[in-house]
């Protein structure tokens, strides 16, 4: 697929290391070590889609379960052995990791619609809730077996507590006696082998009965376990042995109860480790602003706004801008020849194309626009940089020839070739002839590739061969600085003398060099520079014009939006005022009726006026509805006739028989001539005479 030498050349191991640093668990880090380019397969496409699903959540600051965990491979291995015993800390580790696994599985099982590729990881994996419950029943948060784990353990621990309290009481009573006698040092007590001792001055050791445990380095203090607590301490020690035996029995039972779930625990842990790996790749993608481009099975490579990942991260730290790369290869233009000045970005363009192709075929998202199109290659063959070999006593040219030979022997239609300055390192005339022959061979083999060259004849050949085309790295001739932008379509000048002038090379030597160069070649190189400079300026003007047109379009759309909103607001305000006026009118009528009613006059007359008012309002509303219906009918009629109505059309008035000719149309009014008579009629009252 790709040699270790080329992987190292493209610094792919650095990318793997950056991803590895984002992993939480040991097994996820091991998966990072196994990242290698692969050929087109369902598995690699699934891996890309899974990574993209995680990336979309992280990029939007959405919730994704924590995957921090401890490795439980050793615990699961021990657990699978009959009559095995895991200690409390091991069981607590198993518990915590299982809880992380369970949370992750529950989350992904609820995302079938929105995260289908991640859902597939847990479709056949279940949570191990019973394992969590069993361990929680026995082990507390401090990795100790709970006293409630068994009645026997509870009894033993109560006895231990009682004995210790009794031991403390006797010990401190004895301490008070000896303190009064002056037998003890300031630091009165200590512990040796779990036994409490007294710090007795050596001259009083015969006055204190008990077991001697130790002596100070100066020999002035002796540490004695008082005789009054020895027996009771022995009883505590014996009870502690019983306690440990009971704890071990409980732990064995616990291990036996969760052993049947080892297979499911392993499956869950495998999922967790893999998602940890996916999350690390997704975090790296977020850092790079990386995306998943469209991937096609055939050959189609449309790289839009690509960045070299390591260069992008380096510039991101220093606050510098990284210039994106855009290039397209297809069945008609399979091989791109890039020319341009030294230090203009040709080599970094090659490395960007190569490393992004390797990343994608390794299951990594890449820093390109989402509308980019990629395909997979069976082989990626690279010849970049100085290949001089001191060990094999090869010159730069010999090493170049050996590398080109290896590439030419290995190319086919499913190969991507990246070659930097091919044909260099020897006599320019002979080297350019070799370069021409190599380019012809590459084109004939239907190989896809990108090649850089300074040779004029190679640039000319790229224009003639059917599957090849030219491109160049732009150069700001006014400021004598490279732009690091790839322009496709024309070859570029090497700007040899301009670059020399930029770095401060003596001008008199530059002028003498120009005198020695073949005039036609110098003229050709100058012509290329002028053409490219003019093209760059035209592109900039076009881009500026397009930008201004875009701004005009936005301003026009904004104006229409604001105007429509204003009209709607005016209409709403008008309707509101009409409604308020109507309600005010109702209110006044209601108040007058209330006044008449309260005067206690002829209330039958008041009721009649009320009923008459309601009847009149009802008729008014009915008339309004009819008018609205009529208006709607008129609008529909106008909408039907208006597109077909023009000056010269023959028309009739509704219910009329005379045919007239349209002389003028203003808005929805039509001026018609009937013989010697003229008339203005609304469109809604007309029909076309043909109908």
Between CA 279 and CA 285 the distance in angstroms is 10
What residues pair up with 145 in beta bridges, in sequence order? 139
For 622-649, write each residue's pLDDT tens digit. Answer: 777 776 666 666 777 777 777 878 888 8
Q: Are residues 325 and 460 in the same domain?
A: yes
- In CATH, what number is assigned to the domain containing residue 220? 1.10.1420
Between CA 273 and CA 25 the distance in angstroms is 7
Q: How many domains does the chain have?
A: 5
Domain assignment present for residue 529? The answer is no
Query: Of 537, 443, 456, 451, which Cα lies nearest the Cα of 491?
Result: 456
User: Is it the case that residue 118 has pLDDT exceeding 90?
Assistant: yes
User: Is it the case that residue 509 has pLDDT exceeding 50?
Assistant: yes
What percentage of residues in the chain have a pLDDT greater than 70?
85
User: Which regions of 433-536 does DSSP assign to beta strands (E)?
Assistant: 448-452, 468-476, 481-488
- The answer to whether the beta carbons of residues 606 and 589 sit under 8 Å apart is no
Q: Are residues 381 and 449 in the same domain?
A: yes
Joined together, the tokens standing for residue 265 give 């625990």
> Residue 292: its pLDDT value, please?
96
Between CA 39 and CA 274 the distance in angstroms is 21
> Residue 31: its pLDDT value, please?
95
Domain assignment present for residue 356? The answer is yes
Longest alpha-carbon distance in the chain: 151
Which range among 279-293, 316-330, 389-403, 569-583 has the greatest average pLDDT?
279-293
Backbone angles phi, psi at 466, to 5 degrees: -65, -30
User: Is it the case that residue 605 has pLDDT exceeding 80?
Assistant: no
Q: What SS3 state is found at 214?
A: strand
Q: Which is more confidently placed, 334 or 397?
A: 334
Joined together, the tokens standing for residue 548 give 């201004």
Domain assignment present for residue 523? The answer is no
Question: pLDDT grade, residue 313 (50/70/90)?
Answer: very high
* Least confidently predicted of 358-372, 450-464, 522-536: 522-536
Map tokens 């006055």 to a residue.
207
User: Is it the case that residue 425 has pLDDT exceeding 80?
Assistant: no
- Judge if pTM exceeds 0.75: no
| Helical spans, DSSP H, in 492-518 | 496-502, 507-516
> Residue 462: its pLDDT value, please?
83
Joined together, the tokens standing for residue 610 give 């009320």
Q: Which residues of 124-155 are buried (b: 16+ CB within 10 A; e: fewer)?
A: ebebbeebbebbeebbeeeeebeeebbeebee
Q: Are residues 133 and 263 in the same domain?
A: yes
Q: Are residues 418 and 380 in the same domain?
A: yes
Average pLDDT, the chain: 83
The domain of 179 spans 148-246
Q: Are residues 676 and 600 in the same domain?
A: no
* Least confidently predicted of 121-125, 199-203, 319-323, 665-669: 665-669
Joined together, the tokens standing for residue 264 give 């499911």
Between CA 452 and CA 458 the distance in angstroms is 10
Q: Are residues 284 and 298 in the same domain?
A: no
User: Which regions of 536-634 does DSSP assign to beta strands (E)?
Assistant: none
Q: Are residues 155 and 134 in the same domain?
A: no
> Residue 354: its pLDDT value, please?
93
- In CATH, what number is assigned to the domain containing residue 20? 1.10.1420.10
> Residue 557: its pLDDT value, please?
77
User: Is it the case that residue 279 has pLDDT exceeding 80?
Assistant: yes
> Residue 518: its pLDDT value, please?
52
Q: Residue 438: in which H helix or E strand, if any?
A: helix 428-444
Q: Which is more confidently placed, 425 or 22?
A: 22
Q: What is the 3-state secondary structure (H, E, C) of 312-330?
A: HHHHHHHCCCCCCEEEEEC
Q: Mean pLDDT over residues 670-680, rounded?
A: 82
Q: Which is more confidently placed, 202 or 257?
A: 257
Domain assignment present for residue 536? The answer is no
> Residue 146: its pLDDT value, please?
94
Q: From the DSSP assignment, how many helices (H) and strands (E) are in the chain?
A: 20, 19
Q: Which is more confidently placed, 427 or 13?
A: 13
Question: pLDDT grade, residue 591 (50/70/90)?
Answer: confident
Question: pLDDT grade, residue 459 (50/70/90)?
Answer: confident
Q: Which is more confidently placed, 18 or 521?
A: 18
- The answer to whether the beta carbons of residues 272 and 25 sit under 8 Å apart is yes
Joined together, the tokens standing for residue 457 give 């004849």
How remote is the C-alpha of 297 from its chain's centroid?
Answer: 24
The answer for residues whose C-beta is within 8 angstroms of residue 648's C-beta and 6 or more apart is 661, 662
Q: Are residues 369 and 431 in the same domain?
A: yes
Q: Are residues 553 and 405 in the same domain?
A: no
Question: pLDDT grade, residue 132 (50/70/90)?
Answer: very high
Q: Are residues 132 and 224 in the same domain?
A: no
> Residue 477: its pLDDT value, please?
58
Q: Mean pLDDT over residues 541-563, rounded?
A: 76
Domain assignment present for residue 405? The answer is yes
- In CATH, what number is assigned to the domain containing residue 671? 2.30.30
Joined together, the tokens standing for residue 434 give 């070799």
Joined together, the tokens standing for residue 665 give 């149309």
Map tokens 């998202």 to a residue.
365
For 510-550, write each residue's pLDDT tens digit. Answer: 556 555 555 555 455 555 555 555 666 666 677 677 777 77
> Residue 202: its pLDDT value, please?
85
Domain assignment present for residue 533? The answer is no
Q: Are residues 141 and 168 in the same domain?
A: no
User: Is it the case that residue 499 has pLDDT exceeding 80?
Assistant: no
- In CATH, what number is assigned to the domain containing residue 466? 3.40.50.300
Domain assignment present for residue 112? The answer is yes
> Residue 427: its pLDDT value, please?
54
> Residue 502: its pLDDT value, please?
61
Map tokens 């380096």 to a residue.
314
Domain assignment present for residue 252? The answer is no
Joined together, the tokens standing for residue 639 give 């909408």
Q: Are residues 58 and 205 in the same domain?
A: no
User: Is it the case that residue 387 has pLDDT exceeding 50?
Assistant: no
User: Is it the case that residue 13 has pLDDT exceeding 80?
Assistant: yes
> Residue 390: its pLDDT value, please?
35
Which residue among 475, 492, 516 closes a domain?
Answer: 516
Q: Which is more confidently placed, 674 or 264?
A: 264
- The answer to whether the beta carbons of residues 473 and 346 sit under 8 Å apart is yes
For 63-102, write each residue's pLDDT tens digit. Answer: 999 999 999 999 999 999 988 899 999 999 999 999 999 9
């Amino acid at each position: 697929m790709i040699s270790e030498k080329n992987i190292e050349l493209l610094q792919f191991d650095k990318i793997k290391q950056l991803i590895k640093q984002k992993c939480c668990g040991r097994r996820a880090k091991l998966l990072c070590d196994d990242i290698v380019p692969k050929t087109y397969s369902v598995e690699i496409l699934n891996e890309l889609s899974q990574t993209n699903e995680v990336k979309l959540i992280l990029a939007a600051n959405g919730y994704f379960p924590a995957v921090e965990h401890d490795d439980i491979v050793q615990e699961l291995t021990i657990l699978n052995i009959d009559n095995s015993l895991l200690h409390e800390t091991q069981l607590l580790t198993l518990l915590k990791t299982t809880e992380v696994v369970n949370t992750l599985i529950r989350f992904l099982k609820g995302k079938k619609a929105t995260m289908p590729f991640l859902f597939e990881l847990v479709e056949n994996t279940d949570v191990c809730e019973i394992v969590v419950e069993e361990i929680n029943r026995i082990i507390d948060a401090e990795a100790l077996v709970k006293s409630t784990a068994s009645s026997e353990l509870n009894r033993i621990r109560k006895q231990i507590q009682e004995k210790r309290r009794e031991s403390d009481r006797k010990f401190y009573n004895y301490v008070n006696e000896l303190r009064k006698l002056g037998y003890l040092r300031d630091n009165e007590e200590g512990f040796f082998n779990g036994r409490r001792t007294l710090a007795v001055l050596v001259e009083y050791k015969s006055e204190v009965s008990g077991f001697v445990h130790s002596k100070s380095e100066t020999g002035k203090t002796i540490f004695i376990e008082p005789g009054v607590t020895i027996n009771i301490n022995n009883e505590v020690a014996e009870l502690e042995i019983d306690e440990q035996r009971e704890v071990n029995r409980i732990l064995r039972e616990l291990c036996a109860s969760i052993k049947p779930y080892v297979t499911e625990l392993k499956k869950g842990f495998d999922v967790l480790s893999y998602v940890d790996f996916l999350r690390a790749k997704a975090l790296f993608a977020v850092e790079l602003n990386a995306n998943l481009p469209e991937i096609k099975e055939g050959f189609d490579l449309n790289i839009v706004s690509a960045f070299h990942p390591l260069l992008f991260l380096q510039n991101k730290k220093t606050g510098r801008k990284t210039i994106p790369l855009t290039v397209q290869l297809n069945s008609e233009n399979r091989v791109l020849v890039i020319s341009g000045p030294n230090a203009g970005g040709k080599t970094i363009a090659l490395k960007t194309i190569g490393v992004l192709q390797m990343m994608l075929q390794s299951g990594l998202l890449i820093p390109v626009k989402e509308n980019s199109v990629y395909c997979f290659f069976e082989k990626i063959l690279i010849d970049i940089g100085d290949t001089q070999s001191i060990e094999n006593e090869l010159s730069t040219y010999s090493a170049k020839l050996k590398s080109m030979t290896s590439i030419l022997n290995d190319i086919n239609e499913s190969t991507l070739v990246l070659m930097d300055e091919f044909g260099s390192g020897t006599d320019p005339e002979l080297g350019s002839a070799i370069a021409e022959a190599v380019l012809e061979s590459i084109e004939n083999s239907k190989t896809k590739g990108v090649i850089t060259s300074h040779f004029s004849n190679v640039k000319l050949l790229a224009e003639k061969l059917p599957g090849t085309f030219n491109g160049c790295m732009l150069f700001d001739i006014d400021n004598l600085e490279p732009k690091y932008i790839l322009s496709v379509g024309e070859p570029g000048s090497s700007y040899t003398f301009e670059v020399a002038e930029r770095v401060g090379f003596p001008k008199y030597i530059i002028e003498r060099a120009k005198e020695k160069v073949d005039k036609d070649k110098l003229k050709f190189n100058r012509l290329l520079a002028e053409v490219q400079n003019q093209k760059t300026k035209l592109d900039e003007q076009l881009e500026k014009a397009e930008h201004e047109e875009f701004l005009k379009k936005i301003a026009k759309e904004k104006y229409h939006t604001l105007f429509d909103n204003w009209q709607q607001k005016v209409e709403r305000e008008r309707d509101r005022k009409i409604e308020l006026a109507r309600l005010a009118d109702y209110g006044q009528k209601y108040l007058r009726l209330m006044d008449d009613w309260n005067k206690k006059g002829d209330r039958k007359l008041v009721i009649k006026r009320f009923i008459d008012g309601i009847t009149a309002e009802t008729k008014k509303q009915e008339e309004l509805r009819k008018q609205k219906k009529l208006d709607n009918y008129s609008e529909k009629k106008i909408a039907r006739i208006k597109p077909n109505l023009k000056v010269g059309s023959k028309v009739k008035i509704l219910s009329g028989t005379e045919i007239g000719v349209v002389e003028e149309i203003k808005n929805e009014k039509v001026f018609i001539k009937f013989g010697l008579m003229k008339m203005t009629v609304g469109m809604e009252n007309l029909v076309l005479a043909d109908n």
